[in-house]
Amino acid sequence: MCSLKSLSFRLFVFSVMLVCVDAFGQDQKPPAPQLFPIKIDGKWGFIDTEGHLRIPAIYSDVGEFSEGLAPVSMDELWGFVDGSGKWVVQPLFERAENFRDGFAPVKIDDKWGFIGLEATAFRTHNSTKSCALFTGPLRS
């Protein structure tokens, strides 16, 4: 049989576990909506899994959503939009690719570099081409 002291200790441990689980869960973001490129009347936009147009078809070209952002082109310049179609990075690149592991290749002034989700871009060391460096946060 359980003593009152043992029961109190078990309740205390259970309460601490609940608080820890709740605290860790606060850092998690809700899953990003799954959006897919679609071409309508010569322009690109994005639809959801049910086929509803979520981001209007106003772009001349698009990439795929990865890590919450998609590269999109307007007037021959590329930038990045989020799942609501809001510009996260204004179009200023000659080319932009999908994010992977927090970074996306971007081209400006005929030079390739990487722009990061968190703050900066960096130079590649194994590239025969020179690399542009970009700084500044992508997300506020």
- pLDDT tens digits along 32-71: 669 999 999 999 999 999 999 999 999 999 999 999 999 9
pLDDT digits (tens, 9 = 90+) for 75-94: 999 999 999 999 999 999 99
Residue-level pLDDT at 110: 92
Residue-level pLDDT at 117: 84
Average pLDDT across the chain, whole number? 77
- The proportion of the chain whose per-residue pLDDT surpasses 70, expressed as a percent, equals 60
Strands, DSSP E only, in the chain? 36-40, 43-47, 53-59, 61-62, 70-74, 77-81, 87-93, 95-96, 103-108, 111-116
Residue-level pLDDT at 102: 92
